[in-house]
Amino acid sequence: MFRDPDPQPKHFGDFDPNDDDPDPDVWPLEGYDPGYPAPTRKLIRISNSYPAPHVAWVTEEYLEALYGYNPVRQSLHVEELPPWKQPDTPTHRGTVDVVATNESTLPMELTNDRHEALRRIARLWNGEVVRGHHLLRDKLPIWSAILGDLNQDELKRLVVDSEYDYDLHDAFGHHPWFTKNASVYAAPKWIIRKKVWYSPTLKGRTLINRRDDIPSLHGDPNEGLPHRVAVGLARLREHARGRKVRTYYDLGGYTVDIASQDDTGRIWVGEVLTGHHNRDLNRHTYRKLADLEAEGVTPCLIFDHRETAYKVFNHLHNHDTIQARLPKGTFDSDLEISRGQEDIEEAYEENNWSVPNWTTTTALWNETLSDTDTTINPDILLSTNW
């Protein structure tokens, strides 16, 4: 690295890379990389195994000088895309940038305000009071109530990826071949008819759980805030019924989202399904509850929306490997919850269905904290772990 630079770029690399690469004091290399100087967020990682495993962080100008063209990014007309990547009904005209190899995405710089925001989100998720607000008691407080005193320009990076082409996503995001996602740490979700902007993504939950200076998130790390809120409200409902309640509980060889037991010893279990669940997981959850029902447990499904419920029910009804049949056929309209519940109860009574009860997050809210006759003590609510 310290000899005189050659007139043409050469292969070079870091034979002992660490998690903080690329080091802005090293990459790109002056005299070797024609793109020098350049911000590290624009660099591309090259990996090689010879003569030993190593990496190099270079600019696109370096690759263009080395190969005679830019192998990373090329501008193509929409019509030039491969047939399997062309949209059925193009809404984007002109050209698109095609990324042909790995483009580095630097981790978000964890400034003091961003760190504090993630800490507050974690505490709110875990059922603590944050700036006087509670996740369930205050029906998912708004962004400004939890994070309004922090630098909003810095917090914008939590929900917006400055390197992401949102126009391209708008044009092609509805196609199954479009798999590039924005690198964000929180994303908006509709929960109990409210749009919540601080719902941590998997990337955000992973960042929170990996740091010792931020409280780890309670519950299933693979599930998001809609799932978490549903579990919390179900926990409150069972408590209000005077039952013993456990969340994320091991029972009959399975882990269930929530389990409760009444004074007679009868056990009720609930599983939460949200819109992001894939159908394989839907079937697995149904089989789990069917197995537990056969052992004398009363199962229930909890959905984020009734639309999700009817889509899942129709899928189970139509799938050959699932012993589940709806006597009236699939749900072809968006029925009121009470009517949909009656149809499922009918299927259960006719031995065509293994899960007799279902509800939604909004219905749970209406049965608990929005009910003027609720017996839930605020002190109990704030001290409840779920």
* Phi-psi group of 269: left, alpha or beta (phi > 0 → left; psi -120 to 50 → alpha; rest → beta): beta
The confidence band for 78, taking pLDDT boundaries of 50, 70 and 90, is: low
pLDDT band at 22 (very low <50, low <70, confident <90, very high): confident
pLDDT of residue 269: 97
pLDDT, residue 103, reads 42
pLDDT tens per residue across span 216-269: 999 987 889 999 999 999 999 998 888 999 999 999 999 999 999 999 999 999
What domains does the chain contain, in order, with CATH numbers? Answer: 1-106 (no CATH), 112-217 (no CATH), 227-383 (3.40.1350)
- Residue 8 confidence (pLDDT) above 60: no
Which has more pLDDT, 294 or 170? 294
Averaged pLDDT for residues 114-140: 96
pLDDT tens digits for 329-358? Answer: 899 877 899 999 999 999 999 999 999 999
More confident residue, 181 or 10: 181
Query: Which of 15-29, 181-195, 268-282, 349-363 has the highest average model confidence (pLDDT)?
Result: 349-363
Share of the chain above pLDDT 70, in %: 78
